[in-house]
Amino acid sequence: MRTDVAIVGAGPAGLVLAHLLARAGIGSVVLETHSREHVESRVRAGVLEAGTADLLERTGVGDRMRQQGMIHRGIELSFGGRRHRVDLAGLTGRTITVYGQQEVVRDLIAARLGAGLPLIFDAKSVRLSGLDTSAPLVRFRHDGEEVELTADVVAGCDGHHGVCRQAVPDGVLRTYRRDYPYAWLGVLAQAPPASEELVYTRHERGFALFSMRSPAVTRLYLQVAPDEDVAGWPDERIWAELHRRLRTNDGFDVHEGDVLEKGVTPMRSVVTEPMRYGRLFLAGDAAHIVPPTGAKGMNLAIADVAVLAGALVTWYATGDEAGLAAYSRTCLRRVWRVQHFSWWMTSMLHATDRDDPYEHRLQLAQLDSVTQSLAYATSLAENYVGLPLDCAAAGLP
Ligand code: APR
Ligand code: PHB
């Protein structure tokens, strides 16, 4: 088998890349280790930056998002029993769209398969070789057969636990990381959202987040210990803790409902540099992870592949390698700004393990600034709705 670009991983990064390349007439084969059913039902984050929603819309995969996604013009920060609104739209002129990552993935898979383009699920034992040559090779097993795929370029979009980053020889990549002394317990509940906007709460007992997926489904998160066993969280305990942390003096409280899904997500920040080795380009979680507090993971993955698609389009059209040569540098600039924002939101809102009273006062001072100073609020809002995407880089008008 031969293609232009071999894409490993059918998450937001791999699928958006395949979609942008297809629009430009560049061939690709997407390899996904899991089944279609698995990737379409994985519950992940759900906030699309303005630029992400715009990109999906402008490239023809935004119909369902426009119908079912919820446009939010602000978010709430809650502490000391009070909610404070950050007027995202007023401060930036832009909005966010609440629409589950797995819905984005479903729409992209439907578009790809609908167009009859190659997307191979259940691709097992994926291995890369020849990355430092002009004809890299991807081997995998599918339906019990060994398959060899040659390509001009490999896009490593296989998430944090994928094989692409590991295929780079030792000593080439440098990794920067921070593990946080807490995790999130995420809950999906059949309950109408109790507020129109997301509520990020700093509480002495720990962070809590109120979010949603539809007018009938609420998404909630609780700060828990990093090694927390979900078995220790029967539904009654979850609801009691959510009420304790999220209830505010103005009468806001969560609505209870059947728990549809629950799971624990670790919190970490990771950046791997550079995001390229020879003909391998890493994108999304394969290259970097952010803690979910800033809602940036999927957006950052899509920003990477917008840059990569643009560079590949130019390369195929003109042979000019400048965009590919600048890929890692261009992406890492945004990556580090988003790393900082995500770290900052995380450290402002989570109770620390040591219950350090000095740090607690600093968090309150920070929240005070963000809710009282227009400059601080604008900075948060700009980062939250997202830094501008370079649409020209994505080959878009
Ligand atoms: N071969 C093929 N596919 C693989 C392999 C492999 N060896 N290893 C992992 N994969 C697949 C995973 O099953 C997954 O579907 O790669 C895909 C990677 O997708 P994501 O993890 O969604 O990563 P990405 O596309 O970069 O999107 C980042 O996803 O995890 C969230 O919080 C994260 O929102 C962020 C977003
Ligand atoms: C979500 O709805 O899943 C969500 C929202 C905001 C975040 C993280 C997750 O910061």
What residues contact residue 380 under an 8 Å CB cut-off, 6+ apart?
86, 345, 370
Q: Is 163 in the pocket of ligand 1 (CB under 6 A)?
A: yes
φ, ψ for residue 86, nearest 5 deg:
-105, 115
Ligand 1 centre to CA of 288 (Å) is 12
Confidence of residue 357 (pLDDT cuts 50, 70, 90): confident
The pLDDT of residue 393: 66
Tokens of 135: 């004809």
The pLDDT of residue 352: 84
Ligand 2 centre to CA of 170 (Å) is 35
Active site residue 277: no
Active site residue 200: yes
Confidence of residue 355 (pLDDT cuts 50, 70, 90): low
Active site residue 192: no
The pLDDT of residue 353: 66
Ligand 1 centre to CA of 169 (Å) is 21
Half-sphere exposure for 144 (CA within 13 Å, toward CB): 0
Q: Which atom of ligand 2 is nearest to the CA of 293?
A: 10
- What is the pLDDT of the chain when averaged over all its residues? 96
Picking from 128, 104, 98, the residue whose alpha carbon sits closest to that of residue 39 is 104
Q: Which atom of ligand 1 is nearest to the CA of 290?
A: 32
The pLDDT of residue 389: 87
Ligand 2 centre to CA of 291 (Å) is 10
CB atoms < 10 A from the CB of 236, how many? 9
Superfamily for the 5-72+95-177+268-352 domain: FAD/NAD(P)-binding domain (3.50.50.60)
CB atoms < 10 A from the CB of 368, how many? 14
């309950």: which residue's tokens? 191
Which one from 99, 200, 221, 277 is the annotated catalytic residue?
200
| Residue 108 to residue 7: CA distance in whole angstroms | 14
The proportion of the chain whose per-residue pLDDT surpasses 70, expressed as a percent, equals: 98
Tokens of 187: 């809950």
Q: What angle do CA 343, 345, 350 make, to 5 degrees?
A: 95
Which one from 292, 316, 327, 350 is the annotated catalytic residue?
292
pLDDT in tens, 250-307: 999 999 999 999 999 999 999 999 999 999 999 999 999 999 999 999 999 999 999 9
DSSP H stretches of helix in the chain? 12-23, 36-41, 50-58, 63-68, 88-92, 101-114, 235-246, 297-318, 322-349, 357-372, 374-385
| Residue 160 to residue 284: CA distance in whole angstroms | 8
pLDDT in tens, 1-28: 999 999 999 999 999 999 999 999 999 9
pLDDT beyond 90 at 391 = no
Ligand 1 centre to CA of 284 (Å) is 8
Q: Is 247 in the pocket of ligand 1 (CB under 6 A)?
A: no
Written as one string, the DSSP assignment of 45-96 is: --EE-HHHHHHHHHTT--HHHHHH-EEES-EEEEETTEEEEE-HHHHHS--E
Q: Which atom of ligand 2 is nearest to the CA of 43?
A: 3
Q: At what angle do helices 101-114 and 12-23 cross, to 10 degrees?
A: 40
Active site residue 72: yes
> Which residue lies with its CA nearest to atom 8 of ligand 2?
295
Ligand 1 centre to CA of 205 (Å) is 32
């080795």: which residue's tokens? 277
SS3 198: coil
- First-to-last alpha carbon distance for the chain, in angstroms, is 33
Ligand nearest to the CA of 282: 1
Q: Is 298 in the pocket of ligand 1 (CB under 6 A)?
A: yes
Active site residue 255: no
> Which residue lies with its CA nearest to atom 33 of ligand 1?
297
Give residue 205's Cα distance to chain centre. 27
Q: Are 44 and 290 in contact (CB under 8 A)?
A: no
Ligand 2 pocket, Cβ-based, cut-off 6 angstroms? 45-47, 198, 209, 211, 219, 292-293, 295
Phi-psi region of 363 (alpha: psi -120 to 50; beta: other; left: phi over 0): alpha
Ligand nearest to the CA of 213: 2
Ligand nearest to the CA of 96: 2
Tokens of 327: 């890929």
Burial classification of residue 109, based on how many CB atoms lie within 10 Å of its CB (0-12 exposed, 13-18 middle, 19 or more buried): buried
